[in-house]
Structure 1
Amino acid sequence: MEGTASNAPQAEGTEPQATAPSTQGAYENNIAPDAYDEAAIERWAPEPDKRPGRTAFQRDRARVLHSAALRRLAGKTQVVTPGTRSPAWDASPRTRLTHSLECAQVGRELGAALGCDPDLVEAACLSHDLGHPPFGHNGEQALNEFAEDCGGFEGNAQSLRLLARIEPKRFVRDPAASGEGRLVSVGLNLTRAALDAATKYPWPRGGHPTTPASPKFGVYEDDRPVFDWIRKGAPEDRTCFEAQVMDWSDDVAYSVHDFEDGLHAGHIDPGALHAEPERQTVFAVALGRYVPADTDPAELAEALDRLLGQEWWPHGYDGTALAQSRLKDATSQLIGRFCLAAEGATRSAYGSGRLTRYAAELVVPREARLECAVLKAVADRYVMQRAEQERLRADQRIVVAELAEALTARAPDGLEPQFRALFDEAADNRARKRVIVDQIASLTDASARTLHARLTGHM
């Protein structure tokens, strides 16, 4: 299915002949060859294992779990900004970190049920949001505007850049340099399969296979060497099966939990979903944003009615302990409903064998996708579109834009040591601007505001 790459750099301290695993068990894993081949477990920079007996994918999962990038997600916005409370809020809102942990739990179980290596899917789920900047998608939009002339900004492309180049874990000698060559980072140096599984959009900017104008892409141009290595032997523009499991798990986790958080915070009145005017506003949000614009609203109405008709639906939620318990049961029921729908449909299409890499496509029934989309639209309409949220988002965009301007004017002042060194080594203004983008993307919501205040004097 895939060949063994020969263009990977040599790891510091390894013997020249150790450029690729020669047998299935040569490194650290004993995965059955009918599930994952040598190419899947290969790393960009070959390296021995410090603790024999682990599988390659257990090692990948551990590296992501112990990364500083994952810890920083605790301070990055999911829906409600960390550290803020609404009058009805009596618990900490979900952050990018808690969302990633929940996504990982969903993905691990769904992947295992379909024959994927569970550690591989979990590593991908933990990795999928690592590149998101402070202030969530709002910060992503502001950074994309700033980075327009150096390749733009996209959270998924930033995740790959972080995993393969920025997160300080493994360094190798640069084979392109003269003499011994300088040491360069290869990030967490995950396996090919793990990096591929974390890639939702396997194409560069403007390369969407059906919608070239789509803002979604998975790799910046200067990260193409490692991307091309990851994708060696893969069908063009097609995501691997594990990435599809990760993507659906992400959809399930955030649609269900954003709805739960909105209900718990008092922003969503479940009774309003029976009123026709309110229902139409929800469907209008879903059309074009969460489902194709030509979707029949009647299908969305049927999807919502299927959910409202469930015995476990949190009708009359009032915040009492009993109501909270029912709400927790509803979230469990929803997650199970969406995952079992995908598992059943995929098994019907492909049978009972192990489904991995490019041997299958995840099949999610249309009914499940529409129900998931309706939940996303409900949270969007009643949580994200609140007037105070828009005011906060406007302020956040100003913070990111002014911070980018200040760093551009004063760099390398304001850059952390890691990024200061990269700035000093950058070959041109385009590369230096990308370093500034990397620095901003690494910040939490709070650290972005602190650095902004220090550099601009504005609170």
Structure 2
Amino acid sequence: MTDLPEGYRDADVERWIPEPAKAAERTPFERDRARIVHSSALRRLGAKTQILGLGSGDFVRTRLTHSLEVAQVGRELGKALGCSPDIVDAACLAHDLGHPPFGHNGERALDAVSREIGGFEGNAQTLRLLTRLEPKSIDPATGRCVGLNLTRASLDAAVKYPWREPAAPRRPDGTESRKFGVYEDDLPVFEWLREGSVGTQQSFEAQVMDVADDISYSVHDLEDSIVYRSMKLSTLRDPGQARDVIAHVREWYGAGEDEPLLDALARLQAFQWWADDYDGSRRSLAALKDMTSQIIGRFAQAIITATRAQHGEGALTRHDASLVVPQDTLDEILMLKGIAVHFLMAPRETSPTYAKQRKVLQELVRAIADRGAAAMEPQFALDYAEASGDAERLRVAVDQVASLTDTSAYNWHHKYCLSP
């Protein structure tokens, strides 16, 4: 076997199902990344909504392009902080694999229709996909699929919320959080991958993936708000508008105080590259791209500097270090998220299309669960046939619908719910 990167141990490269030794030209972590790159689940993200629907414009971000952007940010952060760039890259590429059609709107719809069997959570679905649904490796003892059979370190890095639903922490304002990382029937592999961890602490690589996700979507959702909703950042010079944004921050994220968030906005507005006005010209597009690049670099450097100040140089890996994100950086990220919520995401909540999407997915789950294996793709049909009860059969129907793209969800709904 290739020598392990600094800071990693033999347990980190173990797989749920042992595999024969392979040629040493690639590390186990490089193989993990390659398995995700070649997965059908990653390809499907190219036709799944990120924030704006796929018909919103030719250059709209999809779940796939978002994942690629997260991976680029995460890989550079991981390299600078001394953990395996391949583990972080793999985790970033994998972090949204479990998301269903229509983005978070679809996630809420599937959660509602499956509440009686433990609900639906995109991150828990990602773990299910990586360890059960994506066909790559088979357990020779049982004949069952074990997903991509990634190493322990890579699986742990992909778990954004390392707890069951009952253990989900509350949001900063004390309200309930619906974020969790594992369904009850996936606990055995979850407990295996978490060996060596402490409580609900994310692995260091998962922390890097998590902040890379926050950086990417806070900056790029802001960019999409400007390009696709013709929002001008200059409107935020109005204190009333800025406070309206902060109100949405508290409503959506249960966090944030007025003065720190206003200070965060003021810091960003003070930079020469802050693009107050956008008119769609190449000059303004270039200025917008420069702004997003500058912000990403600002956040990344602040995190690298703070983390190195606490831990020093050398490899920072797994459960031997914690990422340090300065409070100013957290406030700036949260303010950017709030801008996107205020101008882009919140207005969608009352749109007829948004309600239609939820209706489509919920009706489709019920129709497929009733029709059974005949309405499913072959791999899900076999899961349905082997299910031991109604709860397991409903979970298979949810797995099938969650795997669909936006377009195929509409097509399947027309076929199974509308056609005579």
Looking at structure 2, the residues matched to 331 and 363 of structure 1 have their Cα atoms a distance apart, in angstroms, of: 22
Match of 1:15 in 2: none
**CA–CA distance in 1 between the matches of 2:302 and 2:41?**
33
Query: 1:141 matched to which residue of 2?
Result: 108
- What is the identity, as a one-letter code, of the residue corresponding to 1:75? A
Q: Which residue in the other structure is 1:108 paired with? A: 75
Q: Within 1, Cα distance between the matches of 2:104 and 2:111?
A: 10
Distance 1:363 1:458, change over 3 A: farther
Q: 2:88 aligns with which of 121, 127, 143?
A: 121
User: One-letter code of the match for 1:306?
Assistant: R
Q: 2:18 aligns with which of 46, 54, 65?
A: 46
Q: Which residue of 2 is the match for residue 57 of structure 1?
A: 29
Residue equivalent to 1:246: 209
Q: 2:369 corresponds to which residue?
A: 408
CA distance in 1, matches of 2:169, 2:359: 33
Q: Distance in 2 between matches of 1:266 and 1:430?
A: 42
Alignment of 1:276-295 (within 5 A): 276-290=239-253, 292=255, 295=256
Of residues 373, 384, 390 in structure 1, which corresponds to 2:351? 390
1:192 is matched with which residue: 148, 152, 159? 152
Identity of paired residues, percent?
A: 49
Tell me how far apart the structure 2 counterparts of residues 388 and 426 of structure 1 sit (CA, whole Å).
Answer: 36
AA in 2 matched with 1:99: H
Letter in 1 for 2:261: L
Q: 1:444 and 1:359, CA in 2 relative to 1: closer, same or farther beyond 3 A?
A: same
Q: Residues of 1 paired with 2:263 and 2:193: CA distance?
A: 41
Match of 2:221? 258
How far did residue 311 of structure 1 move? 0.5
Q: In proportion to residue count, which structure has more helix? A: 2
Output the amino acid matched with 2:15. Answer: R
**1:315 deviation in Å?**
2.0
In structure 1, C-alpha distance between the alignment counterparts of 2:260 and 2:110, rounded to whole Å = 36
Map 1:296-335 to 2 at 5 A: 296-335=257-296
**C-alpha separation between the residues in 2 aligned to 1:378 and 1:244?**
24
SS at match of 2:139: strand
Match of 2:198 among 217, 235, 238: 235
Counterpart Cα distance in 2 of 1:215 and 1:354 = 34
More deviation, 244-253/311-320:
311-320
Inter-partner Cα distance in structure 2 for 1:287 and 1:333: 26
Q: Give the structure 1 partner of residue 3 of structure 2.
A: 30
Give 2:332's aligned residue. Answer: 371
Question: What is the letter of the counterpart of residue 384 of structure 2?
Answer: F
> Larger deviation: 339-348 or 209-218?
209-218
Match of 2:297 among 307, 312, 336: 336
Q: Distance in 2 between matches of 1:374 and 1:267?
A: 19
- Map of 1:272 onto structure 2: 235
Q: 1:383: how far off?
A: 1.0
Report the Cα distance in structure 2 between the residues aligned to 1:309 and 1:233, rounded to whole angstroms.
Answer: 45
Q: Distance in 2 between matches of 1:127 and 1:155?
A: 11
Q: Using the TM superposition, name which of 272-281 and 68-77 deviates more.
A: 272-281
Q: 1:99 aligns with which of 44, 66, 82?
A: 66
Amino acid at match of 1:155: G
Match of 1:152 in 2: 119
The amino acid that maps onto 1:60 is: D
Q: CA deviation at 1:207?
A: 1.0
Match of 1:168 in 2: 135
Question: Which segments of 5 or more consecutive residues in structure 2 lack a partner in the other structure?
Answer: none
Partner-residue secondary structure (3-state), 1:413: helix
* TM-score normalised per structure 1: 0.88
Take 1:369 and 1:422, find their aligned partners in 2: how far apart are those partners?
43
SS of 1:311's equivalent in the other structure is: coil
Distance 2:382 2:257 in 1: 54
**How far apart are the structure 2 equivalents of 1:193 and 1:262?**
36
CA positional deviation for 1:458:
6.4
CA–CA distance in structure 2, aligned partners of residues 410 and 291 of structure 1: 41
C-alpha contact 1:206 1:214 (8 A) present in aligned 2:
no
Looking at CA atoms only, which structure, 1 or 2, has the larger radius of gyration? Answer: 1
Q: Deviations over 1:347-379 (max 9, x none)?
A: 111111211001111110111111111111111
Kindly state the Cα deviation for residue 386 of structure 1 after the two structures are TM-superposed.
2.6
Q: Residues 394 and 43 (structure 1 numbering): CA distance in 2 closer, same or farther, change over 3 Å?
A: same
CA offset digits 1:120-140 (Å, max 9, x no partner): 100000000000000111110
CA distance in 2, matches of 1:313, 1:209: 35
- Rounded Cα–Cα distance in structure 2 between residues aligned with 1:408 and 1:187: 23
Cα distance in 2, alignment partners of residues 298 and 172 from structure 1? 55
Structure 1 Cα separation of the partners of residues 270 and 253 of structure 2: 22
How far 1:388 moved relative to its partner?
A: 8.2
- Deviation digits for residues 52-94 of structure 1 (CA, Å, limit 9, x no counterpart): 3200100000000010000000111101111x13xxx5x4200
1:213 to partner: Cα distance:
3.9
